[in-house]
Structure 1
């Protein structure tokens, strides 16, 4: 332990109770000097009291040498200094002992008590030294002057080391407290940086999932319609050339639309990747010596940027385009009925885009698994929410599956889209053998 009570740093401990070797050297040196001083002051003390000189010098050596234990037993060393004060020895012992005691974590009342005892003892010894022959009757001039002078000398002797020790101890405790607080703040910042990094990674995953859903919706619907029109084109190519030409034109239009949407989506994705790569290259030279606060700022900025990307209002489809979407399915030979309930109004871009994608994916599933089945699309405006429902009848007898590949991600993607906006999604077969997809999406930002 140090003088302030702090734990001794590992790998820096000195011999015995000293925290450092230089502290041990200093205390031993002070003890030797104090012992020599007290031994020298023991000679006049022996002549005044009649004690043997050797005994007085030995007493001085023991008293002065106790200064070696000032860090280990500061109170005991001060008591030794008070005890030898009547022998007029131990000036260095008293000064250093008072300083050491005041710099430790000893309660202030004990420091005040011992300092007061030192002041009283010093006052008595100093006043007696001023008396010629040791008698008050022989004092020239007013006696109060000697009392005042003795009090001043006692205060000057005792108070400076006490005040200096109190200042040094308070400063040391303040430094220890600030260092501990800084270490705690460093740990907290490290945790915040780790959480920010996790949030940035989560945002990257969310963005990848969003882009995957968009690509799935675009490719699945457009390609499904193209396959249906291509099959119709093959069936009527020889019988009805005019209809075959119309189907070929529809296939071309859908292919061009799919390519345009994919090109726009991949362009945005490539721009994001280029920005991330450029930012990583620019920040790489400073990451090796990066501090936790800088890490927090960097990852928080990345997380905020990715949250903004996730919340960005893209140029996606809107509910007003449902009629065009239904028309494309009708052109492919599907019987589709579209009904709109409630007062038509606009919603946030994400809400309208999600509702559109739900209808689009549901119609794609009808093309895949129930070709030719009558389908009904319902759009309901309900104040602060919008509801969509796509229900198809059971496919007719002898109708085969279109043979389009299905990864089973369509319904999962629809559910994720709707629940991300705080909505409700329900899907399943009907009692008549058909299939129903329903979604209710509240107006507002995603949670």
Structure 2
């Protein structure tokens, strides 16, 4: 539709008006303008009736009907302008001309139609003004201007009635369209910000989940291995307490040492968690992306702290020594020249060996274990292989529980660094855990 753009004058109001008006204030304005225009045309209808030799009431009625057309200016601005052009010879409806041209120019009517109607109104006004000026000059006895006078005066009058409302309407229409464009852009930006906030919250939730998973792996590694060795030693202690008091004393001392080591590692882990939580609370949450930054910073800080303070490849030999003290037969072989790796690589390698030995304590008591560590050109590889479990082993009666998360945790650690993890039973009835970690992880 070519005239609905006039309705877009209505902005910023929630109260809907009657019929085609967007709000009640617009309806009141149009009704008021129509009433003023009808009154003006009724007065001018008296003179029109006298010139046309018509009854005065008929001229007044004609003026009332013509002037009241202004009430539909927002709905049909083209019709209002056409009526004003048609009544130009009757010299009535000046307010209707001004308001109609303004409404037409400010609406979404195509510019070619606006220009055509404005040109018709300009031509009609010029012709009527030219005739009127010629008549006035002819009636004046002491005023004899040149031939230029009538067209110049008619042109001024035509431009004065046509150009200002058209130009003002074009300006208001352009301004309204600009405001609508800015409003749509603001709405679009608000939606984008909302989407960004949702994505930030999702990423923050993902970061929190990842951090909880990492913490769960750390707690599992710290607790499972130490406590497994403690349970093995406690079972051995129970078996030899009466037969060999000296060995029982040594086993009791080992249990105490491992308990203290487990408590120390737990305290370190809890300290890292408290530091991460304090950093998250210290960061303000004024923006939508702040939760992501806070959680990410806390997770990075916790991971960095744990990586710096965590175990390394150099601690594997001591780890194997603890298993040997628990009665496990462990062979350890190193291939290649030892060198340093990124902290997270060394820590992951240590945890893989630690968890593999823990699983042997749980599921293959008394089995012989072979631990291999290979330093290659661009990677480090480790393998823990045990033979078939020995039912006569002292640890077999320990009854160690299993949560079923050890292999899953090892796989997650290795694949997170871009490595390869393989595990499974051997032909000899044992179990093998192999992992390869790339040396390309950048050090912090």
Both structures adopt the same fold (TM-score exceeding 0.5): yes
Q: Counterpart in 2 of 1:288? A: none
- The separation in 1 between residues aligned to 2:336 and 2:149, in whole angstroms, is 106
| 1:44 equivalent in structure 2 | 47
2:442 corresponds to 1:439: no
Rounded to whole Å, the distance in 1 between the matches of 2:403 and 2:9 is 65
After TM superposition, give the deviation of residue 349 of structure 1 in Å.
Answer: 1.5
Specify which of 134, 148, 162 is matched with residue 166 of structure 2: 162
Q: Does 1:352 align with 2:346?
A: yes
Decide which moves more: 211-220 or 378-387.
Answer: 378-387
Paired residue secondary structure (1:143): coil
Unaligned runs of 5+ in 1: 284-293
1:371 to 362, 365, 373: 365
Q: 1:421: which partner in 2?
A: 417
Matches within 5 A, 1:219-238: 219-237=223-241
2:222 counterpart of 1:218: yes
1:393–1:433 contact (8 Å) kept in structure 2: yes
Q: Give the CA RMSD over aligned residues.
A: 2.7
Contact 1:313–1:350 (8 Å) recurs in 2: no
Q: Which residue of 1 aligns with 2:151?
A: 147
Alignment partner of 1:301 is 2:293: yes
CA contact (8 A) 2:280 2:298 kept: no
Structure-2 change in CA distance of 1:295 and 1:376 (3 Å): same
C-alpha distance after superposition, 1:260-310 (max 9, x if no partner): 10111122223434555666xx76xxxxxxxxxx54232332343255246
Secondary structure of the residue aligned to 1:347 is: coil
**Other-structure match for 1:118:** 121
Secondary structure of the equivalent of 2:421? strand
- Residue number in structure 2 paired with 1:407: 403
Asked whether 1:64 is paired with 2:67, we answer yes
Q: Matches of 1:32 and 1:7 in 2, distance apart?
A: 21
State the distance in 2 between where 1:11 and 1:62 align.
Answer: 32
Is 2:321 the partner of 1:327? yes
| SS of structure 1 residue aligned to 2:429 | coil
- Per-residue deviation at 1:9? 8.7
3-state DSSP of counterpart to 2:331: strand
Q: What's 1:100 paired with?
A: 103
C-alpha distance in 2 between matches for 1:162 and 1:304: 59
Q: Secondary structure at the match of 2:288?
A: helix
Match of residue 251, structure 1, among 233, 249, 255: 255
Q: For residues 33 and 134 of structure 2, what CA distance do their matches in structure 1 show?
A: 32
What secondary structure sits across from 1:19 in the alignment? coil
SS of corresponding position for 2:74: coil
Q: Gaps (5+ residues) in structure 2?
A: none
Q: Is the CA contact (8 Å cut-off) linking 2:7 and 2:75 kept in structure 1?
A: no
The answer for the alignment partner of 2:266 in structure 1 is 262
Query: Partners in 2 of 1:310 and 1:113 — Cα distance?
Result: 74
- Contact kept, 8 Å, 1:370 with 1:401, in 2: the verdict is no
In the superposition, the TM-score normalised over structure 1's length comes to: 0.89
Equivalent-residue separation in structure 2 for 1:300 and 1:142 (angstroms)? 83
> Contact 1:4–1:173 (CA<8 Å) still a contact in 2?
no
1:135 CA displacement: 6.1
Matched, 1:196 2:188: no
Shift of 1:26: 1.3
Counterpart-to-counterpart distance in 2, 1:86 and 1:171: 34
Change (3 A) 1:174 1:307: farther
TM-score using structure 2 length: 0.89
Q: CA deviation at 1:153?
A: 2.5
The verdict on how the C-alpha distance between 1:145 and 1:343 changes in structure 2, with shifts beyond 3 A counting, is farther
Indicate conservation of the 8 Å contact 1:2/1:8, yes or no: no
